[in-house]
Amino acid sequence: MRRRNSRKIRRILLCQLSIVFVSFFLLAALSSVGCKRTSSTVAVIPRTCGTALWEPEHAGAAAEARAVGLNLYWNAPMRDDDMQTQISLVEKSVDRGMAGIIVSPIQTLPMRTPIRRVLTRGVPVVVIDTELGIPSGPKLSYVLNDEQVGGQIAARRIGLILQGRGKIAIVGIGPELKGNIVRERSFETTLSHEFPEIHVVARRLGLESVPQEQHSAEELLAGSEPLDAIVALSLASTRGTYYALAESAKVGLIKLVGFDQDLLPPIRDGGIDSVVVQNTFEMGRIAMELMNREIHGAAGSSEVKVEPVLMTRENVDSAEIRRILNLSWWSPQ
Amino acid sequence: MSPLIARRSITVALSAALVISLLAISGITYQLITRRGPTQHQMISLEKQEDWQAFGGTWQYADGVMSNISDERGAKLMTGREYWANYSVEADVLLLGQYGDAGLIIRASDEEKGVDAYHGYMAGLRDLDNTLMMGRADYGWREYAAKSVSPRVSAQQWYHLKFLAFDCDFAVSATAQNGQTTTIAIRDPGCIKSGRFGLKSYNTGAQWRNVEIAPATQRDLTSMIGEIQPQLAVPNELPTGSEPAPHDRYLEPIERDIQAHSSGVNAKSIGSLRLLSPDVPSSATVQGVVTLTSPMLYIQDSTGGLAVSSSHPHAPLQIGDEAEVRGDVYLHDFSSEIRNADIHLLWSHTPVSPVAVTASQAATGAFDGQYVEVQGRLAEKNEDGNGTGMLTLEDESQSFLAVVNGLGRSPNLNSLKVKSKLRLRGICVTDSRYTHDLTAFALLLPSSGDIEVLEGPPWWSPDHIIELVICIFLLPFAGMTGFFFVERWRMQAVLDERQRLAHEMHDTLAQSFAGLGFQLQAVRDDLTDGIDIMPQLEQAQDMVRNSHEEARRSISALRPEHLESVGLLSALEECARRMVSTNSSVKIKTASSGNLQNIPLRVSDTLLRIGQEAIANAIRHAHCSQLTIALDYEKSAVEMIVEDDGVGFAVSSDSAGFGIRGMHKRAENITAQFRIDSAPGQGTAVRVLAPLPPSFLRTQSHRWLTRLQLRKIHGKRNRV
């Protein structure tokens, strides 16, 4: 009897000891997983952070992530032309065991191979704002700014403000980003079909920075060809052209229609006639929604297009524009 | 409740209490650690670069001032401990350029390279909207407050910034050179409780000096903000620069910016300067991005790069600034230079990426003055007294030099090993001031962070080869030595076993054979004398029978599974009963006390041998009427007692015969205490106290050890 009791007590003690050890190892394992972020974390990597164009994507993605119970890792290169850092962030996200990656490639072609590698490792990807040429599938979705519509909006705005007649220049043409190519083609096609009396007399390739764009626009304005309007196809070219117009005191004399949200005061002031803004808030929200489906294996082939909106002096304070420019990534929408 | 269960319960209760106490102490310690900040008020050394960790930026230290000369958005330089909670940091801060901000970070953790890639709080001065601002970053920025500063925040002005955190209250103050102070106080209910501190700039270069840190208390907080309650943290919802109102607050700096950076459209490309006549002095205007500021200013455009020297005052330039340079052009053999330059800052934030070239390509001079990336193996590393390092590298047919500031202060560079393969980013120059006409080109590195180790030196170095040869020689020697020791241990084990068997045979067979010999001798003598030999023959027959039985018993005793199956006490009792079967007057008693425990086989076997000898002695020599065999189980030992009420004897060292010595020796083998208590007429007690290993080890290991030994024994037997 005594022997049986002692064995029982010993067994209980052994059990307790085992529980302590198992708990310790479980805690250690959980904490190490916690350091690397759990598998419910989705990396969202825009072209850069802290700008009026990309912070709304943060807000949209964060709102949806909260709704579906996902965590979000938000980081990007410090410059929107730092392709190498963006690729490095994508690769690191896979190494950290992220549940999925939402990325807005800085350039189309260099991102193809990294994304293919991510997909072969079974990590779902949602690409925002540009097509990579890889067809969408169960692990790859696209959320695109509808550049076709954007080009049409800009062309019709030019037609409206020039009353169907005049000479214009196109700046910021970016052959390295497919969205920009579509944007430009759509604009020119719409313009030639709907406003044949408006002629494109100059074209300038997009450059890396605002000062370069400013310099390019200065040269354009100093040229012999008089212009009625300029269409700037990118954020940097819009700002650079505006600076060149301001410098040469031609603000308002030559109309400027830009793309992608950046500075609001010149719009309110009339220095920039209008800007075709991307609804990056909605793009971020939809991307996270698709990612949630992909993570849970419910997604099919997906390609969603979000229509841009024309922001003018008249509607800059409207509810629609304020929602697009929303930066409140920290609070429920 | 039995005493045993009560004792176990107390043990369990005490163990639980101990664990709880340890957890409580750990918790309290953790609380104390996490609640405390730095232990005392101290100046922070900016010079010791190994104490700081950079996340972006180009950081340089000189004359007590730490500078970030890049205008990256969100460059950070961090130090301190993640468990620091209540503390204040203060420093003098200067913005090098416009349209950015610079300040201090506190309670930071999980820092990465990125605009807002950290968890923590930042407060700083921003010249775009002329504010002292404070907010929180969680891989995204939440600005809690922005308060106008008077006089206006402007570049190249020192401000004293103090940032304090106590519990979830934060206070920040900025004091201008005229003594005017602006203060913000914020309460963030779900605050970050602890973290490191650091320096941060956004969109502009900046400088910091006189960095101090101190533990903070409620009194410190009150002395900064008075008795008023800090306002609750509510983040602004629109980005700086995009806020619709007030209008002129944002449009005005943009217009200033435009005017400040208007450029001349008649600038020449840098590459075209090579086409100027070398004989006619000429001046020119070029535009380019600053790629290096020290030891020489270099700018670059898409056609090339050149050195610029200026005697005119100009705004301090940072790497990445776009500048317009007007001055006298000097053409050297392989490079161009503009002297007496009038430098006009056009724009910031346009850093160029390096062009990857081979050393052979760089050696052509085609990349002179340009920011390039080159790979090579480190051949030599030198440092002058000013902390400027000179690296000599080789790549295929070319050697080249790399000049880098702060070589000795960077732990990464100190650990550079000769023959390592490096990737360097710097300005490619063919100027003989740097090449000393020893190499085709040299690289001027903006900072030590522009050196990346691709791979360490090749393993096959002379040192490693010598070490390998020594190892090859030592390995067989070590193997032989090990083998020798193992063999020696094995031989010792064999000898020990032989000695044990010798004792066994002496105790049993040898004595029997001797007795048998005596009987046969007596028979022969009696045959000669005609005496009846039947008694001797009967006695001899008895002895043969006894010897046979003894031998059978010994063989049986050598088999440990027998002991395993019946238990030690039963085996001893069986042995005793077998010996006294012809003498039924001896009573045998057995007893067991304490908690029955598993005894390791080696210990129980030894106890059995000693017990058999003691029983045999008692029955043969003591003429006892009662024999008691007892086992007493203690917590970590077992005691065997064989006691008789026989004639006894005087115990002394001389009285120890071969049998007693054998018992003693056996006891020593298991580190047991052996004792004989006896006196003439008072019986004899043989006591052996054998230690036991800890119970949990014994219980877990006992079975498989036993099985292992049994398997070995069976294996040997099968082979036999």
Residues A188 and A103 in one domain: no
Q: Both A79 and A93 in a single domain?
A: yes
Q: Is residue A314 within 8 angstroms of chain B, CB to CB? A: no
Q: B625-651 pLDDT, tens per residue?
A: 899 999 998 888 999 999 999 898 888
Q: Are A42 and A101 in contact (CB under 8 A)?
A: yes
Residues A152 and A249 in one domain: yes
Of A9, A77, A263, the CB nearest to B241: A263
Task: Check: CB of residue A241 under 8 Å from CB of residue A217.
Answer: yes
pLDDT in tens, A94-148: 999 999 999 999 988 889 899 999 999 999 999 998 888 889 888 999 999 999 9
Do residues A218 and A211 make contact, with C-beta atoms less than 8 angstroms apart? Answer: no
Q: Given this model, what pLDDT does residue B11 score?
A: 65
In terms of DSSP bridges, do strands A274-277 and B119-126 run parallel, antiparallel, or are they unpaired?
unpaired
- Can you read off the two tokens belonging to residue A87? 């690729």
A-to-B residue pairs, Cβ atoms closer than 8 angstroms: 141
Interface test with chain B among A2, A13, A71, A78, by most B beta carbons within 10 Å? A78
- Based on its alpha-carbon atoms, the radius of gyration of chain B, rounded to whole angstroms, reads 47
Q: What is the CATH number that goes with domain B42-255?
A: 2.60.120.560
Q: What is the pLDDT of residue A273?
A: 95
**CA–CA separation, B600 vs B670, rounded Å?**
11
Query: What three-state secondary structure class fits A134?
Result: coil
Q: Is residue A221 part of a domain?
A: yes
DSSP class per residue in B414-474: HT--TT-EEEEEEEEE--HHHHTTTSS-EEEESSGGGEEEEE---S--HHHHHHHHHHHHH
Per CB-CB distance under 8 Å, the chain A contacts of B350 are 208-212
Based on the fold, state whether residues A78 and A132 are members of the same structural domain: yes
Cβ pair B350:A48 closer than 8 A = no
SS3 per-residue string spanning B220-266: HHHHHHCCCCCEECCCCCCCCCCCCCCHHHHHHHHHHHHHHCCCCCC
At B580, give phi and psi (nearest 5°).
-95, 10
Cβ pair A10:B699 closer than 8 A: yes
Q: Which pLDDT does position B478 carry in this prediction?
A: 93
| DSSP state, residue B351 | P
Q: Which CATH architecture has domain B355-455?
A: Beta Barrel (2.40)
CB–CB contact A52 B322 (8 Å): no
Residues A250, A157 share a domain: yes
| pLDDT at residue B255, rounded to an integer | 58
Measure the CA–CA gap between B61 and B79, rounded to whole angstroms. Answer: 15
CB-based contact A211 B699, cutoff 8 Å? no
Confidence grade of residue A93 (pLDDT, cut at 50, 70, 90): very high
Give the separation between CA A12 and CA B347, rounded to whole angstroms. 75
**CB-based contact B59:B201 (threshold 8 Å):** no
State whether A283 and A140 are in the same domain. yes
Residue B666, pLDDT score: 86
Residue A327 forms contact with B (CB below 8 Å): yes
Q: For position A302, what pLDDT does the model report?
A: 85
**What is the reported pLDDT for B136?**
94
Q: Are residues A135 and A187 in the same domain?
A: no
- Residue A127 lies inside a defined structural domain of this protein: yes
CA distance B638 to B688: 8
Domains B355-455 and B567-720 share a fold: no
Residues B68, B199: Cα–Cα separation, whole Å = 9
Q: Tell me the pLDDT tens digit for each residue of B677-695.
A: 999 888 999 999 999 877 6
Task: For residue A74, give the nearest of B113, B140, B287 by CB distance.
Answer: B140
Mind giving me the DSSP string for A76-109?
Answer: --SSTT-HHHHHHHHHHHHHTT-SEEEE--SSSG
Q: Which residue reads 């002496």 in tokens?
A: B506
Average pLDDT over residues A76-87: 88
Task: Decide if A3 touches B, using CB distance below 8 A.
Answer: yes
pLDDT at B28 (0 to 100): 66
Distances (CA, A) of A67 to A56, A139, A289: 17, 21, 9
Stretches where chain B sits below pLDDT 70 are 1-12, 15, 27-37, 39, 236-266, 278-279, 312-315, 348-349, 385-387, 406-413, 507-508, 550, 553-566, 581-584, 653-656, 658, 695-720
Domain of residue A270, residue span: 148-277
CB < 8 Å to B263, chain A: 211, 214-215, 218
How far is the C-alpha of B99 from the C-alpha of B528, rounded, in Å? 135
Using CB atoms, pick whichever of A74, A79, A330 lies closest to residue B235.
A330
Please tell me whether residues A130 and A154 are part of one structural domain: no
Taking CA atoms, what residue in B is nearest to A57?
B140
**pLDDT at residue B17, rounded to an integer:** 73
DSSP of B489-500: HHHHHHHHHHHH
Q: Mark yes or no for CB contact A6/B8 under 8 Å.
A: yes
Nearest to B97 by CA among B350, B425, B444, B325: B350
CATH at A130: 3.40.50.2300
Q: Could you give the number of structural domains in chain A?
A: 2
**What CATH topology corresponds to B567-720?**
Heat Shock Protein 90 (3.30.565)
Average pLDDT, chain A: 86
Q: Is residue A32 part of a domain?
A: no
How high is the pLDDT of residue B704? 53
- In a domain? residue A154: yes
- Identify whether A29 is part of a domain: no
Task: Kindly indicate whether the domain formed by B271-347 is annotated with CATH number 3.40.50.720.
Answer: no
Using the Cβ of A250 and the Cβ atoms of chain B, whether some distance falls under 8 Å is answered with: no
Q: What is the pLDDT of residues B202-246, one digit of tens each?
A: 988 899 999 999 999 999 999 998 888 888 887 766 544 444 333
Q: Are residues A140 and A173 in the same domain?
A: no
Q: Are residues A240 and A188 in the same domain?
A: yes
- Give contacts of A326 with chain B, Cβ < 8 Å: 237
Residue numbers in A near B265 (CB within 8 A): 215, 218-219, 222
B140: nearest CB among A20, A215, A329: A329
Q: ipTM of this predicted complex? A: 0.81
pLDDT in tens, B16-33: 777 777 777 776 666 555
Are both A154 and A273 inside the same structural domain?
A: yes
CB contact under 8 A, A264 and B243: yes
Task: Using CB atoms, pick whichever of A77, A268, A327 lies closest to residue B239.
Answer: A327
Instruction: Please check the confidence at residue A2 and state whether its pLDDT lies above 70.
Output: no
Q: Are residues A82 and A158 in the same domain?
A: no
Max Cα distance, chain B (Å): 154
Query: Which residues on A lie below 8 Å from B114 (Cβ)?
Result: 49, 75-78
Q: Is there a contact between A330 and B140 if contact means CB atoms under 8 Å apart?
A: yes
Parse chain B into domains and list their residue ranges: 1-35, 42-255, 271-347, 355-455, 459-558, 567-720
Most confident of A44-48, A268-272, B516-520: A44-48
CA dihedral B679, B682, B683, B685 (to 10 degrees): -60
What are the tokens at B369? 């003055």
Nearest to B416 by CA among B395, B442, B391: B391
